[in-house]
Structure 1
């Protein structure tokens, strides 16, 4: 049985959305604490203080829940990064905003980063979520590559291979969650600035 939207039910819809959000939050916390493999509906339900049956009411399969976690975290991250990059006054400042924003997001939401990392690496019953993450990464790579082409055409960026630079930035960002987790005493602001400096020096025209 799946949630129904009947007459009356902006309120019902709101309640259902709130419940789904509660389940997603409990899933993130469970994966971060026990690992993906042990994040069963029973474990998630115990953390959320609900019955496992209520989870299956909203998410028929574990895979559907894991994809919802991936979508929720990426949506949150996208809003946070957009808020930073929208104020950029050029291509270099946009890259700085992206890099620094991502580092700060990882520091602020460590459980979320652990969860989506484990889901993306899962060998079983997360194929849909993993495929979506791969498609998202491919889109991000293309967007960065396009931005670098445009920056070079405008004269703000030096000549370099846009694809290679895009791959390098994504690789550096993907390494950030594990680095911050392994070194909890890291000065996040200094780390973010240093990483942004590296790529500013790599792309800007002297």
Structure 2
């Protein structure tokens, strides 16, 4: 039991070093040697835990997605109404981006630069797995329509895509460059659209 805990802690240390290295030098310049240097461990130790660079990148992508999902879910699950859940979803999504800039950059670097063994960029791979954040958001909108908190005059897919787009776009801009409260404005705009 202790060995598996230590191995898991070491894997997380390596993944976090991978995230920091991606943020610093980008995907094109990353190597196991540079990640090992960042983690202050040997390259051989990385190879013990991950079969190769692609395996480490894939585990890093899964880690990034699960961290974001866990953060947002924790804020949404305790809310009682669809309106409260929707506002919590938007707020926690933006807070996550503000407080985890390295994760955002690493995620972008992986999605837009990593490739499958067949040389297909990750962003071009059809979504075969469920996007849990999108599903959570869509379920909130459906529940709000069902219980009449929200108007029935909107398409849940379109609104969910618009909200996620507005959230994602803010990731590409420094929150310090906004001269207004982006969260408040986005919340107001979404509520005007669905109430």
The TM tier, using the shorter chain, reads 0.7 to 0.9
What is residue 141 of structure 1 aligned with on the other side?
A: 134
Greater RCO structure (CA 8 Å; 6+ sep): 1
For residue 150 of structure 1, the aligned residue among 137, 143, 153 is: 143
User: For the residues of structure 2 that align with 1:187 and 1:18, how far apart are their CA atoms?
Assistant: 40
The partner residue of 1:122 within 90, 113, 123 is 113
Worse-matched range after superposition: 81-90 or 164-173: 81-90
Deviation at 1:166, TM superposition (A): 1.0
Q: Which residue of 2 aligns with 1:184?
A: 176
What TM-score, normalized by structure 2, do the two folds share?
0.87
Structure 1 pair 82–139 and aligned structure 2 pair: CA distance change class (3 A): closer
Q: Distance in 1 between matches of 2:8 and 2:122?
A: 20
List gaps (5 residues or longer) in structure 2: none
Residue 9 of structure 2 is matched in structure 1 by 18
**78 and 142 in structure 1: CA distance in 2 versus 1, 3 angstrom threshold:** closer
Distance 1:78 1:138, change over 3 A: closer
- Residue 51 of structure 1 and its aligned partner are, at CA, apart by 1.1
Report the 3-state secondary structure (helix = DSSP H, G, I; strand = E; otherwise coil) of the residue aligned with 1:184.
Answer: helix
TM-score by length of 1: 0.82
Are 1:78 and 2:69 an aligned pair?
yes
Shift in Å at residue 133 of structure 1? 9.6
Deviations 1:161-185 (A, max 9, x none): 11110111111111121112xx535
Runs of 4+ that moved beyond 6 A: 126-129
Q: Deviations over 1:45-98 (max 9, x none)?
A: 111111111111111121211121122122222221122112322112211111
Match of 2:41 among 35, 50, 60: 50
- Alpha carbons of structure 1 residues 38 and 125: separation in structure 2 relative to 1, 3 Å: farther
Of 29-38 and 115-124, deviating more is: 115-124
